[in-house]
Amino acid sequence: MYNVKTLAALVVVAVAASSVSLAEAYSEFSAYTNIRQDVAYQMVDNAIAAFEMDMNTAFADIQNPDNALYNDVELYVFVLDSDGTIVAHGASPDLVGTDTHDLTDGRGANVGDLFDAHLSAEGAWIEYYWPNPATETDEPERKLAWTRVYQGYVFSVGIYPEYTDATQVYLDDASSQQRRLAQAMVEQALQAIIADKYGAFAAIQDRNNPLYHDGELYVFVNDIDGEIVAHGITPDILGQNANNLVDRHGTNIGELYNKHGSPYGAWVQYYWGNPATETDETERKLTWFVQ
C-alpha cells in the first residue's frame, strides 16, 4: 500500500468510581477529548479484530510501544481475562499477571470490582483514577475506560478527560461542522487513494472537484518521507518536502506531522496562508491528518 499522510486543513481566526453514560461523557468534554473518545472505540475494535486472528500475536502487538494501532500518546489498550487478571498492557507490561482485584485506584476504589460491576459485551465506560503515561508522573488522574467483553476477555482503552499539554490543539473555536467536513474530506481521499492512487492525486489537484475543495478547506497529501505528492491549492510545491517548510513562528511543518502521526488521525496547528483571503498573510491553521 502507498504509505501517505492525507490531510485536510481549515483556518480559524483566532468521587465514587462508576459506569459513565455516553451522553454524560460527551456533554462535558472538549472537542479534543471527544475525538480521543472516538479513538478509544476504534482501538478496542482493532484489538478485538486482531485477537480473532491470533490471540498471542495480538497481545504481543498491544505491548509493543511502537505499534500505533494500540498505543497513541495517552491512549493504550489493556486486556483482562475472565478472572480479572491482566494478560496484556500497552503502558505497563510489568502489570501482566496482576489480578486487578489486588489494585486500588487513586481514590481507594478496587479496580477489579469496578470492572466486574460494569462489564458488557456491548461496551461500557468505567471511571476511576489512574496515572497517565503521557505525563510521566505517578499522580493519578480521572480516567474513563471504554471496555468490552469478547470471548471471555475484557478489552479496554482509557481516556484522561483533564489531560492537557502544550502540544494539544485548541479546537473549540472551529465549528464542529468545519471539523467534520475536514475529516470527511480526508476519509474520502484515503478511500480514493486505495482504489486508484494517481487518479486520486489528480482529483485532489482539480480545484473544481467539490470532494476535495470547500471554501478554505482543501486536501493535500505527503508521502511517509514528507514529500508533497498532491496539493489541492498550491500544486507548484509538489515535490517539496514538508521537513523543509517552516511557518512564521518557526514551526517545522514536517516535524509536526512526524510527531503526531497516527492511523487514527490527529489535529495539528501552524500558521499558513488562507486561500479564501487571497493574500500572503498567514493565519492560524488547523489540519486534520491521518497517517
116, 150 Cβ separation under 8 angstroms: no
Lowest mean pLDDT of 144-153, 159-168, 225-234, name the range. Answer: 159-168
Chain-wide mean pLDDT for the chain?
85
Give the lowest-confidence range in 8-17, 50-59, 72-81, 149-158.
8-17
Question: Is residue 268 scored above 90 in pLDDT?
Answer: no
Calpha distance 286→174 (Å, rounded): 9
Q: Which amino acid is present at 107?
A: R
Instruction: Report how far residue 232's alpha carbon sits from residue 83's, in angstroms, rounded to the nearest whole number.
Output: 53
Are the folds of 4-12+171-290 and 31-159 the same?
yes
- For residues 61 and 48, is the Cβ–Cβ distance under 8 A? no
Domain ranges for the chain: 4-12+171-290, 31-159
Rounded to whole angstroms, the Cα distance separating 217 from 117 reads 46
Q: Which residues are 149's β-sheet partners?
A: 154
Per-residue b or e along 6-19, where b marks 16 or more CB atoms closer than 10 Å to that residue's CB:
bbbbbbbeeeebeb
pTM above threshold 0.75: no
Q: Which pLDDT band holds residue 143 (cuts at 50, 70, 90)?
A: very high
pLDDT at 12: 35
d(CA 233, CA 275) in angstroms, rounded, equals 7
pLDDT given at position 176: 72
Buried b (16+ CB within 10 A) or exposed e, 136-162: eeeeebbbbbbbbbbeebbbbbbbbbe
Residue 86 near residue 103, CB atoms below 8 Å: no
DSSP codes joined into one string, 97-141: T-BGGG-B-TTS-BHHHHHHHH--SS-EEEEEEEE-TTTTS--EE
pLDDT at 229: 93
Give the pLDDT band of residue 34 (cuts 50, 70, 90).
confident
4-12+171-290: CATH superfamily: PAS domain (3.30.450.20)
- Is the per-residue pLDDT at 166 higher than 70? no
Is CATH 3.30.450.20 correct for 31-159?
Answer: yes
Kindly indicate the confidence band of residue 162, based on its pLDDT and cuts at 50, 70 and 90. Answer: confident
Q: Is the pLDDT of residue 26 over 50?
A: no
Q: Tell me the average pLDDT across 187-209.
A: 92
Residue 162 and residue 80: Cα distance in Å, rounded? 25
Q: Which alpha helices (H) appear in the chain, and where do they start and end?
A: 22-28, 31-53, 55-62, 111-118, 176-195, 197-204, 253-260
